[in-house]
Chains A and B, each alone.
Chain A
Amino acid sequence: MRIIFIDCPQEIPCNPCQSACAAGAIQVPSLTERPRILPEKCVACGNCVAACPGQACFLIDEEYSETEATIEFPFEFLPVPEQGELREARDNEGQTVCLGRVVEVLPRNRWHGTMVVRLAVPKELVRQVRGMARTAAEAQEEGGM
């Protein structure tokens, strides 16, 4: 099951996450307050992921497979990643957390042209990941995907 995760650490005047959420799972009571999540209302539509100007909204699936979890985040660089491609998964400080595998690339025709990528990473590391490197990792998995 995919669930919403928001990493919005500062009180900045912003609430598109709330406007994007038709399910009412995100509340920003006043414009500079940090968003509050009502996880039970989240339908995992992913609209907040693409809508957030700060790229601070994510969808996490902790039960993707036995060993892997996935995280979805906006990705605004070309070339468009290929499914199955390996990329360095990065945290918010820019440190590489692990290698991740691109499992889905959502097209850019929604939310003002924002592409969203779903990356599979080892389950125990998914909460650290916030994005991925701009280019494919050099080490490719044997035999492809």
Chain B
Amino acid sequence: MKTYDVIVVGAGPAGLGAAIESGKAGASVLLADENDQPGGQLFKQIHKFFGSHDHYAGTRGFQIGQQLLEEAARAHVEIRLSTRVWGIFEDGTVSACTEDESFRCRGTWLILATGATENSLVFPGNTLPGVITAGAAQTMVNLRHVRPGSRAVVVGSGNVGLIVSYQLLQAGMDVAAILEAAPQVTGYAVHAGKVRRAGVPVLCSHTVLEARGERELEEVVVAQVDGQFRLIPGTEEVIQADTLCISVGLTPRWELAALCGCKMDFCGPLGGRLPLHSETLETTCPHVLVAGDLSGIEEASTALDEGRLAGVHAAAALGLLSTAESAEREREIQSRIAALRQGAFGRKRQTSKEQIWSRYHQHQGGGL
């Protein structure tokens, strides 16, 4: 059985960050991902990222992905694609399979960066062809260069919904409307400005009631909701569309962490159920770290740096970095992450993270 210093599950920004940092320090690293391409959602992102220069701000997501793959190659990270990790055992072994084989390997440290799944909405007709998630829409237009349809309605005005709407326009589709159940746009005003300038109305206090069509989506029934998200009768409207794109948040993909025996926690603002973890991404399982959306839904830039932090932590624990070196690296990365959790949009995530860290320390200290 092949043995590695570090096994990282998930090759999105968090997993790449973790693999790069531990690999750079000299660890032997396996980075496994079930997809046929590395980068997670990064290669679907054709827009420029926010943040500072140190967060690759102003650079388009797919170009950040390319830079990270180059960094990973320089750090001698072994990347295995189309490889699904399905088992983690008490003796520290990991089971994975590809289409052709199943294999086991052992890692001294395990870093879980499994990302998130997209939330769905329940309404009549939501299984009609043409009803898709925001991530599916991005995969189609930005990776496969296929338009899902010609005229879309998008549900959700968070940054993902706004960005996906913009990208559908860039792909040559029309976006008839963006629906938002809240009374105001929930994403950044600048993202909303970009789609509004292009002629897309954002309908606040609106929700989707029904998707209709004979064999595939033909029209979307929408209606207004009040401050308690209750339907206002008589406000129903029909919008012609062949694509309905659902962008209503993400949930951490916690299954592997739970399988390991990590103590789980719940935090609404960070996406729901997630593994309890510390500031340096330790879980309640020794030698198992988490990073990225699995440890709370944030943005790619934060995920990347969380991954780097986990990678540094593992490298230091392996004795590959001196205490001074790792402390310096950790301080640097943590200050970059803290910068992204400031301001009106970031503060809630910062507070939520602090609560999780504190519950982690209570749990560990209390020996519960």
Interface string of A64-108 (1 = CB under 8 A from B): 000000000000111000000000001111100000000000000
The size of the chain B interface, using a CB distance under 8 A, is 37
A91 / chain B contacts, CB cutoff of 8 Å: 197
A120 to chain B, nearest CB (A): 17
- With A20-B58, A32-B346, A53-B57 known to touch, is A12 a contact of B50 (CB < 8 Å)? yes
Given contacts A53-B47, A53-B58, A112-B58, contact A11 B197 (CB under 8 A): no
Q: Is the CB of B201 within 8 A of A94?
A: yes
CA distance A81 to B201 in the complex (A): 23
Q: How far is the CA of A130 from the CA of B198 in the complex (A)?
A: 10
Majority SS at the chain A contact face: loop
> Nearest residue in B to A130 (C-beta to C-beta)?
B197
Q: Would B196 and A90 count as touching, CB distance under 8 A? A: yes
**Contact between B196 and A32 (Cβ–Cβ < 8 Å)?**
no
Give the residue name and chain of the A residue nearest to B48 (CB): A53
- Bound together, the chains give a CA A14 to CA B170 distance in angstroms of 23
Q: A12-B345, A77-B198, A133-B198 are in contact. Are A31 and B190 (CB under 8 A)?
A: no
In residues 294-320 of chain B, which contact A (Cβ within 8 Å)?
Answer: none
For A140, the chain B residues whose CB sits under 8 A away are none
A31 to chain B, nearest CB (A): 4
Residue of B52, B340, B341 most packed against chain A (CB within 10 A): B52
Question: Once A and B bind, how many residue pairs between them come within 8 Å at the CB atom?
Answer: 127
| Docked complex Cα distance between A76 and B170 (Å) | 7
Q: Which residue of B lies closest to A55 (CB)?
A: B194
Find B197's partner among A15, A30, A51, A92 (CB 8 Å cutoff). Answer: A92
Query: Closest Cβ of chain B: how far from A76's Cβ, in Å?
Result: 6
Interface size, chain A (Cβ < 8 Å): 38
Is the pair A12, B52 in contact by a Cβ cutoff of 8 Å? no
Is A46 an interface position by the 8 A CB rule?
Answer: no
Closest to A132 in B: B197
Residue A23 lies at the interface, judged by CB distance under 8 Å to chain B: no
Against A, the Cβ 8 Å flags (1 = close, 0 = not) of B40-77 are 00000001111111000111100100000000000000
Q: Say how far A10's CB is from chain B's closest CB, in angstroms.
A: 5
A11 CA / B339 CA spacing, docked (Å):
12
Chain B residue nearest to A32 in the complex (CB):
B343
Q: Residues of A contacting B193 with CB < 8 Å? A: 7, 54-56, 92, 130-131
Residue of B nearest to A16 (CB): B58
Provided the pairs A10-B189, A55-B193 are in contact, do residues A15 and B346 lie with their beta carbons within 8 angstroms?
A: no
Q: Considering the chains assembled together, what is the distance between the CA atoms of A19 and B57 in angstroms? A: 9
Among the interface residues B51, B57, B60, which one has the most CB atoms of the partner chain A within 10 A?
Answer: B57
Q: Are the C-beta atoms of A31 and B58 separated by less than 8 Å?
A: no
When the two chains form their complex, are residues A90 and B199 in contact, meaning their CB atoms are under 8 A apart? yes
Task: Name the residue on B nearest A90 (C-beta).
Answer: B197
**At the interface, yes or no: A134 with Cβ under 8 Å from chain B?**
yes
What A residues does B344 contact at CB under 8 A? Answer: 10-11, 32
Q: Is B103 engaged at the interface, CB distance under 8 Å to the other chain? A: no
Are the C-beta atoms of B196 and A112 separated by less than 8 Å?
A: no
Q: Which residues of B contact A (CB under 8 A)?
A: 47-53, 57-60, 63, 166, 169-170, 172, 188-191, 193-201, 339-346
Contact residues of A with B, CB < 8 Å? 7-16, 19-20, 30-32, 51-56, 76-78, 90-94, 111-114, 130-134
10 new A-B contacts, CB < 8 A, other than A9-B190, A53-B58, are A10-B345, A11-B342, A12-B188, A53-B47, A54-B190, A55-B190, A56-B190, A78-B170, A92-B189, A113-B60
